[in-house]
């Protein structure tokens, strides 16, 4: 993994092509313009460049024209993989010798497929997962996970860094998308649990804002569990140093009972308990919470 937050890399390229001017594409373009790049942009529906033009962006009449008018990376930010294939497909050898930086959300399989397709057309491929919202692009909070051709990553890093903190997480082009999915499950897990908790305390007229203060403190404390459990998972030694699964089972029963009594939806606590029950049935009540990883890992296909 290469983390390039530190150190000023030499600026080697000025001309960037951007295909796609939706909410994210426009923010990407604006961040590059703020960094002093020369941009050629294209969007399927004309008229979306708006302020980018007054800030210096050139608008190309086609995706092919945008690619040929520039020399630097070709940044693609469209709705989905199908849109990317439909835009890049007709370009073919126009991409030869260039680097496609695909910041469109996709699956790891789609990223690998696109990497193979671009290689077949003589282009380098870098996949990118944008862990940010449009308004934070170009700021310190925007994180971009890249995977794929590391040489291309190093070559274009001065440009890529206009958008935020860029991390290269491996040469397998699917890794950025895989991490994106893993971070999304974390986000939705935390957010759904916050909503469940807010609904629970809301039955006693506690404002969500009051609960949020405690919730945020608790979320910060949980980072210690994450670090400790990661080590236990990697070393396959889920020794209970804080609480055993048996102890968690009792606490989960309280949560279920409290939710049922309050009339709050019980699907989330039931999911927790079902996952735990499977581990208890395997005789793992004395293990640490990290032992539940086995309930999530892929099971052998029959
Ligand atoms: N917005 C966010 O907060 C955020 C955060 C992280 C990642 N992302 C990812 O960034 C990507 C773009 O998101 P967005 O928010 O910019 O979406 P958006 O505002 O809906 O823009 C979608 C863009 O894709 C273009 N497009 C869609 N289908 C096309 C096709 N078949 N051919 C050519 N162009 C096509 C649209 O062109 P038209 O203008 O012609 O429709 C538009 O430029 C997505 O993969 C998204 O998951 C977004």
Q: How far is the CA of 25 from the centre of ligand 1 (A)?
A: 7
- Give me the CATH number covering residue 69: 3.40.50.720
Q: Are 130 and 210 in a shared domain?
A: no
Chain mean pLDDT for the chain: 94
Per-residue pLDDT tens digits for 70-115: 999 999 999 999 999 999 999 989 999 999 999 999 999 999 999 9
pLDDT at 55 over 50: yes
How many whole angstroms from 79 Cα to the centroid of ligand 1? 3
Cβ contacts of 297 within 8 Å, gap of 6 or more: none
Does residue 86's CB lie within 6 angstroms of at least one atom of ligand 1? yes
Among residues 128, 150, 171, the one where a domain terminates is 171
Contact 186, 168 (CB under 8 A): no
pLDDT for 7 beyond 70: no
Q: How far apart are the CA of 209 and the centre of ligand 1, in A?
A: 33
Domain that holds residue 221: 203-296
Tell me if 177 is assigned to some domain. Answer: no
pLDDT digit string, tens, across residues 231-244 = 999 999 999 988 99
Return the pLDDT at 242: 87
Q: Is 11 in the pocket of ligand 1 (CB under 6 A)?
A: no
> Cβ(143) to ligand 1 under 6 A?
no
Q: How does pLDDT run across 169-179, given as a tens digit for each residue?
A: 999 999 999 99
Nearest CA to ligand 1 atom 31: 83
Residue 108's pLDDT is: 98
Confidence of residue 6 (pLDDT cuts 50, 70, 90): very low
Going from the Cα of 249 to the center of ligand 1, the distance in angstroms, rounded, reads: 44
Residue 182 included in any domain: no
Residue 185 lies in a domain: no
Asked if residue 262 is part of any domain, the answer here is: yes
Give the pLDDT confidence score for residue 302 in this predicted structure: 65
Judged against a pLDDT cut of 80, whether residue 38 lies above it is answered with yes
Are 263 and 152 contained in the same domain? no
Is the shortest distance between the CB of 128 and ligand 1 below 6 Å? no
CA-closest residue to ligand 1 atom 39: 45
Q: Is 193 part of a structural domain of the chain?
A: no
Query: What is each CA distance from 77 to 38, 50, 83, 127, in whole angstroms?
Result: 18, 17, 9, 11
User: 245 pLDDT exceeds 50?
Assistant: yes
Q: Are residues 228 and 274 in the same domain?
A: yes
CATH number at residue 287: 1.10.1040.10
- Total domains, the chain: 2
Tell me the percentage of the chain whose pLDDT exceeds 70: 95
Ligand 1 and 134: CB distance under 6 A = yes
Question: Which atom of ligand 1 is the closest one to the Cα of 82?
Answer: 31
Strands 99-102 and 74-76, sheet pairing? parallel
Cα separation of 180 and 177, whole Å? 5
Tell me if 164 sits within 8 A of 16, measured CB to CB: no
**Which pLDDT score is estimated for 103?**
98
State residue 14's pLDDT score: 55
12 pLDDT band (50/70/90 cuts)?
very low
- Kindly give the distance from the C-alpha atom of residue 66 to the centroid of ligand 1, in angstroms, as a whole number: 17
Query: Per residue in 134-175, pLDDT tens?
Result: 999 999 899 999 999 999 999 999 999 999 999 999 999 999
């Amino acid at each position: 993994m290469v983390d390039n937050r530190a150190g000023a890399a030499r600026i080697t390229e000025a001309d960037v092509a951007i295909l796609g001017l939706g909410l994210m594409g426009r923010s990407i373009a604006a961040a590059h313009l703020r960094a002093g790049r020369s941009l050629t942009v294209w969007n399927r529906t004309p008229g979306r460049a708006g302020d980018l033009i007054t800030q210096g962006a050139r608008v190309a009449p086609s995706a092919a024209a945008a690619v040929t008018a520039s020399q630097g990376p070709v940044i693609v930010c469209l709705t989905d993989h199908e849109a990317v294939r439909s835009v890049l497909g007709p370009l073919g050898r126009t991409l030869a010798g260039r680097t496609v930086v695909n910041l469109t959300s996709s699956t790891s399989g789609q990223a690998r497929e696109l990497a193979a397709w671009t290689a077949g057309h003589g282009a380098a491929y870098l996949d990118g997962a944008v862990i940010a919202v449009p308004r934070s692009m170009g700021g310190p909070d925007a994180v971009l996970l890249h995977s794929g051709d590391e040489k291309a990553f190093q070559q274009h890093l001065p440009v890529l860094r206009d958008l935020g903190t860029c991390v290269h997480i491996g040469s397998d082009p699917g890794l950025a998308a895989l991490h994106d999915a893993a971070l999304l499950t974390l986000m939705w897990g935390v957010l759904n649990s916050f909503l469940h908790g807010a609904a629970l305390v809301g039955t006693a007229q506690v404002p969500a804002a009051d609960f949020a203060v405690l919730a945020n403190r608790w979320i910060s404390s949980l980072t210690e569990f994450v670090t400790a459990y990661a080590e236990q998972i990697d070393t396959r030694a889920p020794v209970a140093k804080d609480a055993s699964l048996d102890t968690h089972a009792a606490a989960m029963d309280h949560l279920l009972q409290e939710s049922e009594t309050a009339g709050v939806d019980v699907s989330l606590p039931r999911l927790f308990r079902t996952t735990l029950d499977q581990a208890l049935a395997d005789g793992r009540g004395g293990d640490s919470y990290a032992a539940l990883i086995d309930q999530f890992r892929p099971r052998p296909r029959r």
